């Protein structure tokens, strides 16, 4: 009888560990694991709508010529400022030392330049 109880306990222990491993796998796959929830809570928070970070960065920059307000690049003239996203924007130098950056998105090559010219002529 003692042998039967020992075997029964051993079988229960083995089945219990198999079940725990199996359901532990499913918990990890489908988000039931508390560890995954804890990791989600440790994500960085959204940046607050406060301009102090930008102002502090701007104030720390040293530039003898012109400091571009949008990219913090130091250039000789305002119209030399680069676009913040050159892979996605085309830069156009305007009159009176200004420049604009227009999105390339969805247009054919040169389409943004054509629209800028139309706008300059007052046709757009």
User: What's the whole-model pTM score?
Assistant: 0.53
Range of the domain at 92: 63-120
The pLDDT score that the predictor gives to residue 51 is 87
Domain presence at residue 33: yes
Domain membership flag for residue 49: no
51 lies in some domain: no
Is residue 15 included in any domain, yes or no? yes
Domain total of the chain: 2
Asked whether residue 67 falls in the same domain as residue 37, the answer is: no
- Which is it for the CA torsion 44, 46, 52, 57, positive or negative? positive
Q: How many helices (H) and strands (E) does the chain have?
A: 4, 4
pLDDT at 45: 83
Please tell me whether residues 67 and 115 are part of one structural domain: yes
In this prediction, the residues of the chain whose per-residue pLDDT falls under 50 are 1-7, 9-12, 14-15, 18-19, 21, 25-26
On whether residue 55 sits in a domain, the answer given is no
What is the predicted pLDDT for the residue at 3? 45
């Amino acid at each position: 009888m003692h042998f039967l109880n020992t075997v029964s306990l051993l079988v229960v222990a083995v089945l219990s560990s198999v079940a725990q491993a199996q359901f532990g796998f499913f918990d990890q796959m489908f988000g039931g694991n508390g560890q995954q929830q804890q990791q989600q809570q440790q994500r960085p928070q959204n940046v607050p709508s406060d301009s102090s970070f930008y102002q502090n960065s701007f104030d720390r920059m040293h530039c003898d010529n012109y400091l571009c307000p949008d990219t913090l690049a130091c250039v000789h003239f305002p119209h030399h400022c680069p676009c913040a996203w050159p892979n996605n924007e085309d830069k156009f130098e305007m009159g009176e030392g200004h420049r604009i950056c227009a999105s390339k998105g969805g247009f054919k090559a040169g389409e943004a330049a054509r629209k800028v010219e139309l706008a300059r002529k007052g046709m757009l």
